[in-house]
Amino acid sequence: MTTPGHDPSLEFPGVDAESSDAHDEVDTRASRTDFKLVIVQSPVIPPKRHIADISAHREVSIGRDTPSVPGASRLRLKEMAVSKYHAVIYWDPERKEWGLVDVGSVHGTFVQSQGSSTFQRLSPARSASHPRYLGHLDVIKVGGTTMVCHLHREDDDSCNVCILSASNGLALVHDHKPTKPTLVGTSTTQSYTPDEPPDAKTAISNLKTRLLQQRHQRPKGQETNTYVDRAASRRMHLGISDPPKNTPNPEPSTHRTPRKRSLYERASQSDQSPAGQQKVANPEPISVSNIGHRLLSKQGWEPGTGLGLDKSGLQEQPIPKPMANRAGLGSATGE
C-alpha cells in the first residue's frame, strides 16, 4: 500500500545512506560501468593524486569527516565548505547508471552537464535532493573541489585522461574507529566503537578522581617545614640592601634649618608658672626594664643621646607644666 502523492521512483535506492559493500552480494563490479572521478581543481587534494576509482565500490560517499559505518567508503574533502556527510555516488542496478544524491548539505552540490555552461544545484540547503544520474564528462562541484566524471565501457581504452596508476591514484577513506587520548595517571589508551560513544560526564569525573588521588610531591631536598624569608627575597628582587642593625647614624649637617621647639620644650624652658612656682625638677631616668626604653633601644637609640634621625631631639624626659590655677569644674578647691 502506497501513500497518496508518493512516487516510489523518487526514493533513494539504497537501504542505508552509508551501507557497506559487504551487503552487495548480487551486484558485482563486472556489471557496473567503469567510473572514475578526475579531480581538476581542489584546495585539499594533491595534484599528483587526482584520479579516484569509483567503480570498485557500489556506493561512495563524499564528506569532510571519515565514515562511521563499517565497510563504507568515502571521498574525503577536508574543507569547511564541505559538510561532514555531504553527498553519495551510487550504482543503480535497475537503470544501470551511476547516480548522485545530495543528502542535505549546507553549501550544496553542483552538477554541470556535458555541453552546458552553467552549474545546477541539486537541492536547497539542508534538504536532500532527488537522484541525479551522471553522464560521461559531467562536472561535479563540491565546495572548492571540481571533478569530471569519466564513464567508459570495459573494452573502451580510448581515453588517456583517466588511466589509473600507482602514482596518480587517490585512495578512498574507509571506516575509522577513533581512540581516546591517554588520561593522566594511566599508561594505556582506551578505545570505543561508534555504537558505544564515550560519556563525557563520566570521563571528566574519572579524571578528577585520579587527579585528587595523586599526592603532590615536593622536589627532593625541599622540606615541608623550611622557613622562607619572603622579605629578603623581595629585597633581593628589587635590588634593595638589607637595613642596618644598630649602626650609628652620621653626624647632623651644620646647614640644617633650626628645628621648631615642641610644646614640651617650651614648657620646660619657661622660668616660672603663673603662680610664681619654680619648674619641677627632672624625674629619675627611665629604667632599662621600661617598655619604652626597650622599644627605643631596638630602633638604635642609646641612653644619653637625643631622639630623631640625627639624634638632635629630646634627651630628657618631658616635664609636664603645672596647671594649679586652672582647675576645672568639680575640683576640690573649696571655691
What pLDDT, on the 0 to 100 scale, is given for residue 333?
A: 56
Contact 325, 275 (CB under 8 A): yes
Contact 112, 118 (CB under 8 A): yes
Torsion of CA 264, 270, 273, 274, to 10 degrees: -110
Q: Kindly report the number of other CB atoms within 10 A of residue 222's CB atom.
A: 7
What pLDDT, on the 0 to 100 scale, is given for residue 121?
A: 96
What pLDDT, on the 0 to 100 scale, is given for residue 23?
A: 46
Written as one string, the DSSP assignment of 235-302 is: HHHHTPPPPPSSPPPPPPPTTPPPPPPPHHHHHHT-SB-TTSPBPPPP-PPPPTTSHHHHHHHHTT--
3 state DSSP class of 324? helix
What pLDDT, on the 0 to 100 scale, is given for residue 223?
A: 56
Contact 327, 333 (CB under 8 A): yes
Task: Give pLDDT tens digits for 265-282.
Answer: 665 555 444 544 444 455
Contact 278, 272 (CB under 8 A): yes
Written as one string, the DSSP assignment of 138-184 is: -EEEETTEEEEEEEE-TT----SSS---TTTBPPPEE----BPPPPT
What pLDDT, on the 0 to 100 scale, is given for residue 101?
A: 96
Instruction: Give, for all 335 residues of the chain, the pLDDT tens digit.
Output: 444 554 555 545 554 444 444 444 445 666 788 999 999 999 999 989 999 999 889 999 999 999 888 888 999 999 999 999 999 999 999 999 999 999 999 999 999 998 899 999 999 999 999 999 999 999 999 999 999 999 987 767 778 888 888 899 999 988 655 544 444 444 444 444 444 555 788 888 888 887 777 655 555 555 556 788 888 888 888 887 766 666 566 665 555 666 666 655 665 555 444 544 444 455 667 777 888 888 888 888 888 788 887 778 887 777 777 766 776 777 665 54
Q: Kindly report the number of other CB atoms within 10 A of residue 121's CB atom.
A: 14
Supply the pTM of this predicted model: 0.48
Q: Which three cell numbers stand for residue 155?
A: 573494452
Backbone angles phi, psi at 226, to 5 degrees: -75, 130
* CATH architecture group of domain 15-174: Sandwich (2.60)
Domain range annotation of the chain: 15-174
Rounded to whole angstroms, the Cα distance separating 173 from 63 reads 10
